[in-house]
Structures are given as C-alpha cells and as structure tokens.
C-alpha cells in the first residue's frame, strides 16, 4: 500500500537557506570598492583565464596582464615565471589586482597518490584529506593557488576513461570523500599557507555520458539527478568549496556551459553558493559545436547569462563581451556579479596581502613524510579480489626464488596513472625495486617483462617468462592498463586485459605454479578470464609514487589488504550499466529463475526462461559487487540491533553491530551500513549506502560499531514534491559489502 508522507523533511543536503555560505563583510566591502573603480574592460579581464607559456612570458601575455585583460593563468608551474607574472599584475596594472594561478592537481603534485578511484577504495576520508593537503602544499610551494579537483562525477560505466578520476558509483561515498578532498586542499582557511582553492567538477552528469563515450550526451531523469548525481556537489558546496566547473556535455539537451538551471537556479538560488564558476577547457566556445549557439558571440552571451563567471582557454568573453554589454544583450550587472565572485575568492586566498611565492617557506617536494602518506594511501587502496588456498601472503622465510613477470612490475611512469602533469617518475618506487629491497639477500627476485607494454601482442619473450616461473618458488604477474588507456577521452568498448596479457597468464599457468596476479588499472576490468588462471588477484589501481612498497608489504603479509571496491566490477562490458543501488523491478532475477543460454532446450516455449531481469549469457550478478574486498583475516558480524526500533522525524536512528576478527591476522575491515525503504510511493533502490567505518582488530578481538543515522538521511527526492522521508518500514543492512550483511527492520512513525 502506498504510504502517505508526513511533512516534508527538507535535508540540509538540499536546503539553500541552511547551506548558504556566510560572506565575510570585510571581503565583501573590499570587493565592492574594487568593482566600483574598474572599467568595463578591466571587469571583462577578470573573467578571462589564459593558458601559460610553459616557462616564459611572451610579449602578448605580459601585455594582457599589464593591461588587466587576464584574471587567471593556468598551466604555468615555474615559480620564477609565476612571480614575475604576478609582479606585472600587482605593480604594473592600473588597479594591481593579483592573478590566480591554476593547475590540474588531481591526485598529487610531485608526490603522486593513487588515482582518485583508488583513493575511494580506501573508504578512508581522513587519509584522503591528508593526501589532498600534501598535494596542496606541494602545489602552493610552486606558486599555484587553485586546483581543478575534486572530480565528484558519479560514474556507473567503467568504459568511460575518466572513471579513474572519479570517486566511484555511490553518492554517499563520493560525498564523504569529495568533502575530505575539499578540506585537504583548502585547509581551515584559504588564506593559510599551503592552502589552495578547490573546484567541484563537473557540474553535473559528466559520468552519465551515453555509452561511456567522453563528452557524450547525458539524459538524466529528475529523480536520478537529485538522488544520485547532485548530492556530492551539494556536499562540497556546503563544505565551502571555492569554485565549480561545468561538465562538457549536454544534460537533457542543454550544454552545461549554457545551462542557467544548473548554475543560476540550483547552485546559486537553491544552494547559496558564493564562490565562482570557471568553464572547462574551451567549453564556452564549444556551445557553437553543440549547435545551441550560432557563433562565438552568442556562445559568450549564453554562458555569461547562465552563470559561467570565468572562461578557460577560449576567448569568447575577451572578444565579444564588451560589445554584448554595449548592445544590452548582457546587462553589466551580470558582469559585475561574476567579477565580484572572482574577487571574493582572490581576497579569501590572501593574494592581495601575499601575492608572491617563496618555495623556501615550504617543505621539500616528495619528502619522506609526504611519501609515507602516499604509501599508506596505496596500501589501503589495494583490493584483494581472490585468494584461493591462501596463496597470499607469501612467506618470505620459505622463498628462495621469486619470479616477477609482466609489463607493469617495473615501470615508474605507468604506475603513476592518468593526469599527473607534475609527477616525477624518478621518485617512483616500483614493485620490483620494493620487493628486492624487502627480501634483501633472503631470496632472489627474477624479473621478466614479457610484454613491452600492456598493449603489446608479441609473445616472443614468453619462453623467458615460463622459464622464470618454473624456476621460482612463487610467481607474481603484474598486468593491467598503461596510464594512457584511462583518463579524459580514453574510453574503451572492451574491458578485458589489453594486448597479449591473457595469453601470458595462460602460458605461465601451464607451469603448474600458483599464480598471483596484481592488476594496475584506471578502471574496473572484466577479469573473469584472468581469474580462471589466478590463485590470488590483488587490484592495485594506478597506485602512485609509493605503490611498489605498498604492494610489497601486502604480498609479504606485513599488512593485510583492506581496500573495498568503490564501483561494481561487471563480468563483461555487455552488462553495463551495472551498479549496486539499482531498482528492484517487478521481475527481479533470482538464483532459481536464472537459466544460462546453454541450458535452454531447443525450441523451448518462451516462458521456460523464467521471465525475470537478467542476461541469458552473463547472468544478473556482477563479477564483484560494490564494497567488496577480501582480507587475510576473517570477520564476523554479530548481534545487529537498534537502540530504538521506531523513530520519529528529526530523531537519530542508532544502529549497533559487533564486529569480530576470527582469523589469524591483525587487519582492518570497512563495515558498511545500507538502508532500504521497503514500500515507497516511488520505486527506491534495493540498497543505499548511508554509513561506513574502518575498524582495525587484532586476532580474536571484537568491537561494537555504532552508526548514527539521522532520519533525514533516510529521505529521498520525489519529483514534484522535493525531499521527504515517508513513514513506514525501513530495512537496515550492515556487512562487508553491498551484497552481504545482516538485516534488521526499523520504522519511521
């Protein structure tokens, strides 16, 4: 029976009144004074972001800055050049307004952490925050003030290359980790030394691009937009993120860079955001390519009116905005608003008081403390997907010869991953180097690359790999994707291991030796064939600078794997989209209803197949579910209970469960809490993540984990009605992944 809603529970998650950022009166006063003294040409200059010259200052660039025709410079990282550009702006321009220097600092500056999807696998907001802080300090030491991160696009399609930059498929997890990144980048105050402005991108729906093809259209129903794609952005807005960036693609037919609903209505009016919005690279000019603007002048008009404050790279604002204002097509008040938003952030960053950078004020790049955090992030990001017969950990005392085989065992560059413009492979420690150091003279390590790259098809070196495997006590294969195979504009239609990697596994497996496979990749892969020949499989993503020592510690049992998947791993690309928080449908698949294509009798009646929702040739389950990850130890969940079985609106539901380490290793478990609204006036997901805790236990130790779940977190966006938590029965699940867990019921009165 359909439930009648009690009065709307408007979440702080989506309440513009509650979340409006409180402006600093002194900052607002200074911004207003500056704005009043600016010419229209100087105002337009603040809206223009210019690409740097990569180490020099061409005459035209210096002239632009001197004349106040540039508000920001991107992609310049030479500190002397940045300081000179800033000197020209501060000392030679009429008003002395400083520039803001920007760069893609996505998962590290010089010290590279795991790709963001790998960091999401840590399920550890504190560690993610520390990593972002390190990236900010290193970037700030070079003279940068602003990064285009975090990328909090929800992605349910691993074919999309930029899933590597995302925080996965779940809005709750992405919100928690996205906010952690914002805190890490921005610190307590943007004016703090080592703090840089963060940018929530790409607003909104980039990860929903059709077919996983980058830049492609996204068609998102209202309930999915509000329940799935917007929450991480709202969470970051509430956390005080300084800037936003639109997605490249069109959302429901309207390109985001010309979409006033997103930036005027949702971002400004509903959420009270008072930072500024920067376009993505040439995305304003691309309104003409989308076919919604006849020319660049019209593109500038649409973007300005939509709320895009600063234009990146292209020059439609510089070329046409003055004329648009003079013609009345763009009110000068709209330009004033954009300038005020930009000046506000520059003032918050303290650029007027401290425009220059002295690298000696900062710790050394890639120092030991930074590398230690990168190693810990890599360690907690690795996900153990298989461990048959306790193939792992390796017992160092019993090893005499270890064979390391594969193109990614000793490649300092490739393990860094996508989008690492300022990373230095010289700082990288590879698995080969780390294992040789860890084993010392206790065991010899023989390395055979076997394939020149992850895409190579030549099997000429396979005999050497087979020979090394036969002579070894243990075999570890390092496979996966090169970093260039994921990231922007690097979508893949097929998710298997590229090149001849599968043939390499088969060849080595014929030796009869246990096979341990370590996969480095920027996305989930369809690993079924590789699993057939692997006794153990550790998924390491692209683990960054210190991936080697982290992997070595895990392989040798110095630490137990504790990563959990932040995204579902499909069996095959043909199952996509596949995600845990799907609707149940009216005919959900079950073990009893599933019949494989090979088991259907010839000329069987149509009804013999079972008439439920699944693929005849790939079933209905993923290869690995969201939240999955094995440990060297074992954990048991016991005595799941509620403090009160029924709560009223505004109350907090208290959920308790006992977690016990029943294995032989000290280890960490990520306990995950999911809910399900049993009966709702619209279909809700079968499960929704609403809490998680990372808990470390010694063998035999147990601990009670307590989750506090405000009733507003049980709410859902209902199209035409807004956010509400309907009264009735909810199921609460707590377990080690989205496909398991004990269940208890509660009621909202």
Cα(257)–Cα(280) distance, rounded to whole angstroms? 8
Please provide residue 515's backbone torsions phi and psi, each rounded to the nearest 5 degrees.
-110, 125
Cα(233)–Cα(256) distance, rounded to whole angstroms? 14
Q: What angle do CA 425, 161, 531 make, to 5 degrees?
A: 85
Which tokens hold the place of 260? Answer: 């006033």
Cα(738)–Cα(740) distance, rounded to whole angstroms? 6
Q: What angle do CA 282, 287, 291 make, to 5 degrees?
A: 145
Does residue 393 have a cis peptide bond before it, meaning omega lies within 30 degrees of 0?
yes
Cα(357)–Cα(83) distance, rounded to whole angstroms? 7
List, in order, residues 6 or more apart from 357 with CB less than 8 Å away: 79, 82, 83, 140, 141, 142, 143
| Three-state secondary-structure class, residue 300 | helix
Which tokens hold the place of 1? Answer: 């029976």
Cα(241)–Cα(116) distance, rounded to whole angstroms? 18
Whole-number Cα distances in Å, 461 to 477, 503, 554: 14, 12, 28
Cα(294)–Cα(304) distance, rounded to whole angstroms? 16
Q: How many residues does the chain have?
A: 749
Listed residue (227, 168, 237) closest to 713, CA to CA: 227
What region, left, alpha or beta, does residue 275 occupy, with left being phi > 0 and alpha being psi -120 to 50 degrees?
beta
Listed residue (347, 477, 453, 327) closest to 405, CA to CA: 477
Residue 224 pairs in a beta bridge with none
Cβ–Cβ under 8 Å, residues 133 and 178 = no
Does residue 48 have a cis peptide bond before it, meaning omega lies within 30 degrees of 0?
no
What region, left, alpha or beta, does residue 108 occupy, with left being phi > 0 and alpha being psi -120 to 50 degrees?
left
Number of Cβ within 10 Å of residue 521's Cβ equals: 29
Would you please indicate which residues are annotated as catalytic (active-site) residues? 280
Cα(309)–Cα(278) distance, rounded to whole angstroms? 6
Helix ranges, 4-74 (H):
16-19, 25-37, 40-46, 59-66
């Amino acid at each position: 029976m359909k439930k009648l809603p009690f009065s709307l529970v408007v979440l702080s998650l989506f309440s513009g009144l509650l979340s409006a950022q409180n402006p600093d009166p002194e900052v607002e006063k200074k911004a207003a004074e500056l704005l009043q003294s600016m010419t229209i040409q100087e105002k337009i200059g603040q809206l223009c972001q210019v690409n740097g010259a990569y180490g020099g200052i061409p005459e035209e660039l210096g002239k632009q800055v001197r004349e106040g025709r540039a508000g920001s410079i991107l992609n310049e990282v030479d500190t002397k050049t940045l300081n000179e550009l800033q000197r020209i702006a501060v000392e030679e321009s009429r008003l002395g307004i400083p520039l803001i220097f920007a760069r893609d600092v996505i998962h590290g500056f010089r010290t590279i952490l795991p790709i963001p999807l790998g960091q999401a696998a840590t399920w550890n907001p504190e560690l993610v925050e520390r990593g972002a802080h390190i990236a900010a300090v290193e970037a700030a030491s070079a003279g940068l003030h602003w990064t285009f991160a975090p990328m909090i696009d929800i992605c349910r399609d691993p074919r999309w290359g930029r899933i590597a930059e995302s925080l996965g498929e779940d809005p709750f997890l992405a919100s928690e980790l996205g906010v952690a990144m914002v805190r890490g980048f921005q610190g307590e105050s943007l004016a703090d030394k080592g703090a840089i402005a963060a940018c929530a991108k790409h607003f909104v729906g980039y990860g929903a691009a059709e077919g996983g093809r980058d830049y492609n259209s996204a068609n998102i129903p209202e309930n999915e937009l509000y329940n799935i794609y917007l929450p991480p952005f709202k969470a970051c807005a509430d956390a005080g993120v300084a800037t936003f960036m639109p997605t490249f693609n069109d959302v429901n037919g309207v390109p985001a860079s010309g979409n006033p609903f997103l930036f005027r209505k949702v971002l400004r009016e509903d959420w009270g955001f008072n930072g500024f919005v920067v376009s993505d690279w040439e995305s304003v000019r691309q309104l003409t390519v989308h076919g919604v603007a006849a020319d660049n002048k019209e593109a500038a008009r649409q973007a300005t009116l939509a709320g895009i404050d600063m234009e990146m790279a292209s020059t439609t604002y510089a070329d046409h905005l003055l004329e648009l204002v003079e013609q009345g097509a763009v009110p000068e008040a709209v330009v004033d608003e954009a300038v005020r938003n930009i000046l506000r952030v520059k003032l918050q960053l303290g650029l007027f008081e401290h425009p220059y950078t002295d690298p000696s004020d900062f710790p050394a790049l890639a120092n030991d403390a930074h590398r230690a955090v990168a190693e810990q992030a890599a360690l907690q990001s690795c996900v153990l997907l298989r461990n048959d017969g306790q193939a792992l950990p390796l017992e160092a005392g019993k090893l005499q010869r270890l064979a390391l085989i594969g193109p990614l065992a000793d490649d300092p560059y490739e393990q860094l991953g996508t989008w690492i413009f300022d990373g230095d492979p010289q700082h990288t420690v590879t698995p080969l180097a780390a294992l040789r150091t860890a084993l010392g003279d206790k065991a010899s390590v023989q390395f055979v690359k076997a394939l020149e790259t992850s895409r190579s098809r030549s099997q000429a070196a396979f005999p050497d790999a087979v020979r090394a495997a036969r002579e070894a006590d243990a075999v570890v294969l390092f496979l996966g994707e090169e970093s260039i195979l994921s990231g922007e504009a690097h979508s893949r239609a097929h998710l298997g291991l590229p090149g001849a990697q599968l043939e390499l596994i088969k060849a080595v497996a014929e030796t009869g030796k246990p096979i341990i496979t370590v996969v480095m990749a920027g996305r989930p892969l369809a690993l079924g064939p590789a699993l057939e020949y692997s006794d153990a499989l550790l998924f390491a993503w692209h683990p960054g600078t210190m991936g080697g020592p982290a992997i070595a510690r895990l392989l040798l049992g110095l630490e137990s794997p504790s990563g959990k998947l932040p995204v579902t791993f499909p069996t095959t690309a043909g199952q996509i989209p596949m995600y845990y928080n799907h609707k149940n449908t009216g005919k959900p698949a079950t073990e009893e209803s599933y019949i494989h294509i090979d088991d259907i009798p010839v000329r069987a009646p149509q009804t013999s197949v079972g008439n439920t929702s699944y693929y005849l040739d790939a079933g209905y389950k993923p290869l690995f579910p969201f939240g999955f990850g094995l440990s060297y130890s074992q954990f048991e969940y016991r005595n799941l209970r509620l403090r009160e079985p029924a709560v009223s609106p505004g109350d907090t539901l208290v959920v308790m469960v006992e977690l016990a380490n029943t294995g032989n290793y000290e280890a960490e478990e990520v306990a995950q809490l999911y809910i399900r609204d049993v009966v709702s006036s619209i279909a809700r997901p079968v499960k929704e993540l609403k809490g998680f805790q990372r808990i470390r236990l010694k063998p035999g130790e147990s601990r009670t984990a307590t989750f506090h779940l405000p009733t507003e977190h049980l709410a859902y966006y209902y199209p035409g009605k807004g956010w509400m938590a309907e009264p009735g029965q909810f199921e609460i699940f707590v377990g080690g992944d989205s496909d398991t867990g004990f269940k208890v019921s509660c009621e909202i009165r």
